[in-house]
Amino acid sequence: MPYRSPIRHIIAAGAFALSVSGLSICSPAFAQQTVKIGSVLSVTGPASFLGEPEDKTLRMYVEKINAAGGVAGKKIELVIYDDGGDANKARTFATRLIEDDKVVAMVGGSTTGTTMAMIPVFEDAQVPFISLAGAIDVIDPVRKYVFKTPHTDKMACEKIFENLKQRNLTKIAMISGTDGFGASMRAQCVKVAPTYDVEILTEETYGPRDSDMTVQLTKIKGVAGIQAVVNPGFGQGPAIVTRNFAQLGMSATPLYQSHGVASKSFIELAGAAAEGVRLPAAALLVGDKLPDSDPQKKVVVDYKQAYEATTKQPVSTFGGHAYDGLFILVDAMKRADSTDAKKVRDEIEKTKGFVGTGGIVTMSPTDHLGLDLTAFKMLEIKDGDWTLVRPGG
């Protein structure tokens, strides 16, 4: 090795420094007449079934809002980054949105994991963050700048237990996924069960990639006195549980799934075994079956038509969460007649009677979700389609 070699490293260092500073040149400067809204979504990766419809929904509606003249006299500029479901990446993009893009608000965070990783960034920067993640941890305890639109897993448990109580089924078994969604909802269900006099006699779990749950279900079958089975989970797991459940001849026992499987693909995956399965879900899935008097009917039917016409794909509740988040934010900006982050935050907190795809939202300083149990409809699968269960039924 020749002696003068450090120079080469210094050159390499210079190149590195240049390449880092080059990042800043890439972000174009925009005129004053736009307002930047940021979003970090899991468009690719294992949570893409959440991020993809969210991404499409945001882009579609921002275009519509801008075509109609924008908000508070300004056009919206949407900045979306894809975190691939990786919390660490999400955190970096959140910093980028705040520091580099200087967004005034954020609608995003597809999963609870990515949302929780991003929360400190928005809290520190005092920028409103409307999350699209499910778990109750996002808004409990209440954080000043963090809101969310999807129903919590706690509400799903309550809705299921409420229905169980009405049917006088109080001794249940629970089988849950060990993924984030399943584990979080399981914990909430265990917590709220006593309030509804529901007794969980036995519990089983399965891994997110397991392909057979007969063992766990056989154990449940062997426990005397089980009146219903509840399955917190999402993805393919619940579909396999449903199939195995029918294969083991347990169909006489009512099976409850969660809002995590509220998409047509669940019915397709579970096939005939899905008949009679009940689950809590947003009105969006049964928009056309809602009575005309339902205030949500117009919103959900319009969203469904717009989404399906633009993307040529069936609507999912996840895209609906992004719709709700975007319009809660835009309404707040209109009311504040400003795009100042702090004023917008205050107005978001004052959201009252907002009709979204997820329900009717009324927020308060102690409630940054603003939905109650009426936001959930109890559905039953009949003839391969969703049907509304009548209250008390």
Partner 1 sequence: MLARLSQRYGVLIALAAIIALLPLVFPSTYYYRVASLVWVSAFAAIGLNILMGKAGQVSLGHAGFFGIGAYAAAIGPAHLGLPSLAALVVGAGFSALLAYLVGRPILRLRGHYLAIATLGFGALVALVITTESHWTGGPDGMPVAKLSLFGWRAGGSGTWYWIAGGLLLGGAWIAFNLDETPTGRAFRALHDSEIAARVTGIDVNRFKLQAFVIAAVYASLAGSALAMMNGFVNPDQAGFLHSIELVTMVVLGGLGSVVGSIVGAAVLIMLPQFLTVFQEYENLLLGFIIIVSMIFMREGIVPTARRLISRGRA
98 binds partner 1 (CB under 8 A): yes
State in angstroms the smallest separation of the CB of 135 from partner 1.
Answer: 6
Give whichever of 88 and 265 is closer to partner 1, judged by the CB atom: 88
Site pattern 31..70 for partner 1 (x: CB under 8 A)? ------------xx--------------------------
Q: Give backbone dihedrals phi and psi of 33, rounded to 5 degrees, phi first.
A: -85, 20
387 phi-psi bin (left φ>0, alpha ψ -120 to 50, beta other)? beta
State in angstroms the smallest separation of the CB of 274 from partner 1.
Answer: 26
Q: How many CB atoms lie within 10 A of CB 380?
A: 17
**At CB < 8 A and 24+ separation, what contacts does 301-310 make?**
303/357, 306/60, 307/53, 307/56, 307/57, 307/60, 310/56, 310/60
Give the range of 17-25, 165-173, 189-197, 214-222 binding partner 1 by CB under 8 A. Answer: 17-25
Give the range of 79-87, 264-272, 298-306, 374-382 binding partner 1 by CB under 8 A. Answer: 79-87
Task: Tabulate helix, strand, coil % of the chain (nearest 5).
Answer: 50, 20, 35
| Local structure of residue 109 (DSSP, 8 states) | -
Mark out the alpha helices in the chain (DSSP H runs). 6-26, 48-67, 87-96, 112-125, 153-166, 180-192, 214-222, 237-247, 264-270, 296-311, 317-336, 341-349
Give the whole-angstrom CA distance, residue 289 versus residue 281.
Answer: 13
Give whichever of 137 and 331 is closer to partner 1, judged by the CB atom: 137
2 binds partner 1 (CB under 8 A): yes
State in angstroms the smallest separation of the CB of 139 from partner 1.
Answer: 14
Q: How many CA atoms lie within 13 A of 236 on its CB side?
A: 9
Q: How many CB atoms lie within 10 A of CB 311?
A: 16
19 binds partner 1 (CB under 8 A): yes
Give whichever of 87 and 192 is closer to partner 1, judged by the CB atom: 87
State in angstroms the smallest separation of the CB of 306 from partner 1.
Answer: 22
Q: Say if residues 228 and 163 touch (Cβ distance below 8 Å).
A: no
State in angstroms the smallest separation of the CB of 384 from partner 1.
Answer: 32
183 binds partner 1 (CB under 8 A): yes
Q: Which of 51, 113, 358, 370 touches partner 1 by CB under 8 A?
A: 113
State in angstroms the smallest separation of the CB of 62 from partner 1.
Answer: 15
State in angstroms the smallest separation of the CB of 167 from partner 1.
Answer: 31
88 binds partner 1 (CB under 8 A): yes
Give the whole-angstrom CA distance, residue 217 versus residue 237.
Answer: 13
* Interface residue list for partner 1 (CB under 8 A): 1-3, 5-6, 8-10, 12-13, 16-17, 19-21, 23-24, 26, 43-44, 81-82, 84, 86-89, 91-93, 95-96, 98-100, 112-113, 116-117, 120, 124, 135, 137, 178-180, 183-184, 187
